[in-house]
């Protein structure tokens, strides 16, 4: 179970999400904005903290 949690924690990490958004072609500023909102309202609020 811990291994699965670590996997999810890595994959759903805002920095990881930022890199994937950049890979998909989002502009830098837009990717940062999306990740900032994601981190505040989803990652920190619901997931691992």
> 4 to each of 11, 36, 38, 41, how far by Cα in Å?
11, 25, 21, 22
Residue from 49, 4, 39 nearest 18 by CA? 39
Q: What is the pLDDT of residue 14?
A: 92
* 0.85 surpassed by pTM: no
Q: Please list the ranges in the chain whose pLDDT falls under 70.
A: 47-49
Q: What is the pLDDT of residue 47?
A: 64
Q: What is the pLDDT of residue 10?
A: 87
Q: What is the pLDDT of residue 49?
A: 55
Q: What is the pLDDT of residue 48?
A: 57
Task: State the total domains in the chain.
Answer: 1
Question: Which residues span the domain enclosing 12?
Answer: 2-47
DSSP-derived 3-state class of residue 9: helix
């Amino acid at each position: 179970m811990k291994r699965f949690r670590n996997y999810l924690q890595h994959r759903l990490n805002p920095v990881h999400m930022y890199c994937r958004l950049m890979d998909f072609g989002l502009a830098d500023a837009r990717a940062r904005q999306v990740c900032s909102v994601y981190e505040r309202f989803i990652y920190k609020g619901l997931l691992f903290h």
